[in-house]
Amino acid sequence: MDYIRESRKRHATGTVVTLYDTNHPDNIFDPAGGRWVVVCEDHGAICNFDTIAMARFHAPCVEWCEECMGVNNDPDLYESIVRA
């Protein structure tokens, strides 16, 4: 089982989101909120999920990273990133 399950660049914000398994021996994250952890590598935002399916579903979203939410809430900036 791999510690890092997924690492992908989000098209909307240009940030990298990584999916971690807290059951892995190398784990450094608190598993209390859920086994699967998604991290916005650019902003350091962390969000726990109970299932890998939920984590995968939410990984491309910006609802759990305030910085990314800020980008999405700024129409001009969002537009410039999307069109870049």
Residues making contact with Zn ion (CB under 5 A): 15, 40, 43, 65, 67-68
Given the complex with Zn ion, which of 30 and 63 has the nearer CB atom? 63
Given the complex with Zn ion, which of 55 and 65 has the nearer CB atom? 65
Q: What's the burial of 27, exposed, middle or buried (CB within 10 Å: 0-12/13-18/19+)?
A: middle
Given the complex with Zn ion, which of 13 and 21 has the nearer CB atom? 13
Provide, rounded to whole angstroms, the least separation between the CB of residue 14 and Zn ion.
10
3-state SS class at 67: helix
Provide, rounded to whole angstroms, the least separation between the CB of residue 42 and Zn ion.
5
Strand partners, 40: 17, 45
Query: Which amino acid makes up residue 64?
Result: W
Provide, rounded to whole angstroms, the least separation between the CB of residue 40 and Zn ion.
3
Please check whether residue 34 is in contact with residue 53, taking contact to mean a CB–CB distance below 8 angstroms.
Answer: no
